[in-house]
Amino acid sequence: MMLLRESVRSALASIRAHRLRSFLTALGIIIGVASVITVISLIQGLSKSVSDQFSGLGGTSVTIRAHNEMKDQMRGKINYLRLEDVEQVRARGEGIRYVSPVFSPGFSEVRYMSASTTARVLATSPSYQDVNGRYTRLGRFISEPDDARARRVAVIGEDLIAELHLPADPVGKFIHYGGEWFKIVGVQEKQGAVFGMSQDNQLIIPFNTGRSILGNHRRPNLSITVAVSELADLDATIGQLTGVMRTAHRLRPGQPNDFEIESAEQLAQTFEKISTMVTLVMGGVVGVALLVGGIGIMNIMLVSVKERTREIGICKALGARSRDIMAQFLVEAVILATLGGLIGLVLGYVLGAVIAGLIPDFPPAVVPWWAVALSLMFSGGVGIVFGVMPARQAARLDPIEALRYE
């Protein structure tokens, strides 16, 4: 303990005596750690935002959509879900609470008086809000009579209020879409953004209203979202829905499914795997800067050994052992690397927050605890690995030759 305490004291004294050189020595570590933390904080912030969006869907929701291989699409063969599939799922599905068919005509122009904007239009059923856990902040959601009679009513997202210069409470106002006027009956709760894309610029209309506007000459790209009664029955329900869909599509045994069924939990797990892989790859790429910083520490420490050769000779002449000299230089390298890691950690957090703030609709940066621990451990490890050679060189100096060194 005495050796360690004296080595730390000596290392700090040397760092204070050569502040500029110490800063330049640690600069590579600072840049490396800052780069790693910035990249990880941005990716993890995006991952957390998307995970929150998936959790908003509910752990018991299942989505059925058409499955299309790229090679089939290139040949013009495209699978679609049919309206009959919705009825089959409703009639034959067991353990299901809600069924919500959804299709999107895409992004279209929406106008209010002289203001206009582009909104993502969704045509869906009244059960959409129960399946997805997304409710209205003002007014009401579309109702069964709205859907049955194909009424021209709409529920809008928060962004449309500002973009169309609508009143703070726009319920009862009329907006123009698809050549027709729609009465606003509700405003959705704010959802935020996913992948930098706002979820609050939506225009939701009744399912049958969307079909009437789309016309008979176009097939809607339909998907079906189902809310399962019990989470424990999720896998069984997916298997049962698979059987219902295969029967409805008249698929023979051995034929591949022309549809796919995914739960919100599966989507969240898939995205988590992707984000983890991206984090590791990007962290590894920018982590090369840490190795460069370690080489910088080794070079400067080797120069420091040369400069302090007479000092080492005096210490050895006064009784310092080789391991004492080695410990002194090794501790100095570790302290330099760790200080660089701490400064880089703070700098990376600040840079991540600034970059996330500069990108429109990008979620806040998040620095996980494991990234902090790994950065500091790796910084200290770099100090040890690249400090060993200079420390050994200092420890092996002959005291007589060192005292003669000019």
Which DSSP letter does residue 334 get? H
Q: What is the spatial distance between Cα 33 and Cα 345, in angstroms, rounded to a whole number?
A: 6
Asked whether 211 and 123 are in contact (CB, 8 A), the reply is yes
Which DSSP letter does residue 143 get? -
Q: How many alpha carbons fall within 13 Å on the CB side of residue 110?
A: 30
Q: What is the spatial distance between Cα 183 and Cα 156, in angstroms, rounded to a whole number?
A: 10
Asked whether 391 and 333 are in contact (CB, 8 A), the reply is yes
What does the DSSP assignment read for 193-262? EETTEESS-EEEEEHHHHHHHH-TTS----EEEEEES-GGGHHHHHHHHHHHHHHHTTPPTTPPPSEEEE
Enter the pTM of the model. 0.60
pLDDT tens digits in sequence order for the chain, 406 residues long = 565 676 677 767 777 777 777 787 778 788 888 888 888 888 888 777 766 665 555 556 788 888 877 776 677 677 778 888 888 888 776 767 788 888 887 788 899 888 888 888 999 988 888 887 778 888 999 999 998 898 999 999 888 888 888 988 899 999 998 888 999 999 988 877 665 567 788 899 999 888 888 776 677 788 888 877 666 667 777 888 888 888 888 888 878 888 888 776 666 666 677 777 777 776 676 667 667 777 777 777 777 776 666 776 777 676 767 777 777 777 777 888 888 888 888 898 899 888 888 877 677 888 888 778 877 787 777 777 777 777 777 667 666 665 665 5
Task: Give first-to-last CA distance, the chain, whole Å.
Answer: 34
